[in-house]
Amino acid sequence: MRLSRLVFQTLREAPKEADTVSHKLMVRASLIRQVAAGVYEWLPFGWRAVLKAAAIVREEMDRAGAQEVLLPQLSPRELWEESGRWGAYGKNLMRLKDRHERDFALGPTHEEVITDLARATLRSYRRLPATMYQIQTKFRDEMRPRFGVMRAREFMMKDAYSFDVDDAASERSYETMRVAYNRIFTRLGLNYRMVDADSGPIGGSFSQEFMVLADAGEDIIASCTSCDYAANMEKAESAPLPAPEGSAEAAPEAISTPGTKSANAVSKLLGRPIRDIAKLMFYQVGEELVGVMVRGDHEINEVRLARLLGVDEVVMAKADTIIAKTGLPIGYMGPVDLPGIRVIADRDLAAMPSIVTGANRVDEHLVHVKPGRDFTPALVSPIRKACEGDPCPKCGQPLKLMHGIEVGHIFKLGLKYSKAMHAVFLDEGGKEQMMVMGCYGIGVTRIVAAAVEQNHDDRGIIWPFSLAPYKAMVVPVGAEPDLVAAAEQLYVDLEAAGVEVLFDDRTEAPGVKFADADLLGVPVQLIVGKTFKARGLIEMRRRGTKQGIEVSPQDAVAQVKSLA
RNA sequence: CGGGGCGUAGCGCAGUGGUAGCGCGCCUGCCUUGGGCGCAGGAGGUCCCCGGUUCGAACCCGGGCGCCCCGACCA
């Protein structure tokens, strides 16, 4: 491709709305252009990167025996009513009406549609197992689109769904996908981790996420520094902490703490480490008000809490509800003599020898409170978020927290959708059985953003070879006819050799050409300039390295070809 | 959904009552070819939209729309 013909416009300055590195670079290098909040155009150069990612995903899906289909983006309300998600999916579901006022959704994911297809076609155990996938645009009316195509409202996703006769078979399908996913992300050249995850609103029992490690990532994962344990924050556990030294022989004692509501403030006032201060928070669980306690240096993991209580979701109680139900002052509540409220204590809080709690009186706290002696929690369980340095639940070595970009997620769905939508097959005995499902997603457009986030320098993108829209770029520097002719010849030869190559045939100043080449980030730069004038040689330079090597035009073609 | 910020040329911005400018980019010519080169000339604007105030509005007032950021667990 000749740069003079490529539809693109590199920018020296990024639009002000771009804040992450990948967003800025993708706009500056003309990969994408924003049309509305969370809605983007992919320009030719960027679109090629998307196609590279999609091709690798497709190859590995096919290798894993999955069959490609294309499902409609528009789906009728009835299907969503069947699964219960017309209501449950909430505002993220893009909805619209047709001219007859019939309700439709623009698919954020396709469990309903595929289950409808499966129940119509996979009627016998003989047709199972079956895994189908598609690569298609998805719609989610995100609360807050962000970071360019990283969290967009319209994005490309590969979604796959497996259908099996029983749990054991479903397990095998899941494993096949897990292997395929690892192959995909390895081939894409990304630094990633597979982590245990909570399955969230898609439902189901168990899932794993594939996280590209990058500081700009919206998710936090806990990863063991020694073994292979890794989980996202919602799921991450830690081994019990050793209880700090000390004991509370003394009985609880009320002390005056005027205007000190937060654990932080109490810690400062008393000059005691924040871990000694208990935090008591209140959650609305159905009709019940539940108190939840963690150490001052810890945070409640609401997803774990919800699981523990056997509910879908917990919400913090409103202040006036708490006051109405207890009559006690917010900010000074404690578990000692707290009437009629079930208190759940975090395991590491319960192990403390002596803590500071609210006294249930304004401007007072209790010191020397010993869990188990001075109050008895209804339940003691690990319900806090893991922290940096916590002991790994598997091996006890320290955990490390890292930011990640979720690029893949695989779920065991179990019977959730087959039950709701009556997706059944006949077994060998002619009896109806529910299909056991799995679902497997990859954010294809997000992969491109994640790759840029992970592979760049201050000059621009440094494409991993597998995703690079072009593998080489010929850059003539000089106007001498023989030099220009040699560059042209090199470009033609590379194309003939099947190399995806860009040719900077523009009459730009050298600085502009080098700057654009670095910004676009094509892996191999072939500079026809001073070394050509002096010795008839091409300077071949890997993007991201300073110094190139000098090769003859013939060798340049051969070497680039061998890289591909 | 709550709070904040911003909408002026493709991008970044200035202009805060008298009918619009700067840098980059774009076009033409000359020049230049190893790191966003120089000179000269040029094109490009519903100043987000609607209404109001005013002799006169990009600017003031009202309403709307759009975009961005922060927050939406620490009692």
Residue A519 beta carbon within 7 A of nucleic strand B? yes
Residue A39: CB partners within 8 Å, gap ≥ 6?
A152, A153, A154
| Rounded distance in angstroms from the CA atom of residue A7 to the C1' atom of nucleotide B19 | 37
**Cβ contact A133:A375 at 8 Å:** no
- Report DSSP state, residue A391: B
Give nearest nucleotide to A550 (CA–C1'). B34
Which of A's residues 237-296 have CB atoms within 7 A of nucleic strand B?
261-265, 279-282, 294
Strand B nucleotides in reach of protein CB atoms, 7 A cut-off: 1, 10-13, 23-25, 31-37, 66-75
In order, the DSSP letters of A306-336 are: HHHHT-S--EEPPHHHHHHHH---TTS--ST
Angle, CA of A202, A51 and A455, to the nearest 5°: 85
Q: Which residues of A414-427 are buried (b: 16+ CB within 10 A; e: fewer)?
A: bbbbbebbebbbee
| A183 C-beta less than 7 Å away from strand B | no
Give the CA A113 to C1' B53 distance in Å. Answer: 57
- The rounded distance, in Å, linking the Cα atoms of A408 and A440 is 8
What stretch of H or E contains A189?
A: none
pLDDT in tens, chain A (564 residues): 999 999 999 999 888 888 889 999 999 999 999 988 899 999 999 999 999 999 999 999 999 999 999 999 999 999 999 999 998 888 889 998 888 989 999 999 999 999 999 999 999 999 999 999 999 999 999 888 888 999 999 999 999 999 999 999 999 999 999 999 999 999 999 999 999 887 654 555 678 999 999 988 888 899 999 998 998 888 888 899 887 777 667 888 888 888 888 888 888 888 888 888 998 888 888 778 889 999 988 888 888 888 888 777 778 887 777 888 888 888 888 898 887 788 999 999 999 988 999 998 888 899 999 998 899 998 899 989 888 899 999 999 999 999 999 999 999 999 999 999 999 999 999 999 999 999 999 999 999 999 999 999 999 999 999 999 999 999 999 999 999 999 999 999 999 999 999 999 999 999 999 999 999 999 999 999 999 999 999 999 999 888 899 999 999 999 999 987
* Minimum CA–C1' distance nucleotide for A484: B33
Rounded Cα distance between A337 and A62, Å, is: 63
Nearest by Cα to A501 from A535, A525, A534, A532: A525
Q: What's the rounded Cα separation, in Å, for the pair A346 and A325?
A: 23
Distance, CA of A240 to chain centre: 28
If you measure CA to C1', which residue is closest to nucleotide B35? A511
User: What value of ipTM does the predicted structure carry?
Assistant: 0.92
A333 touches strand B (CB under 7 A): yes
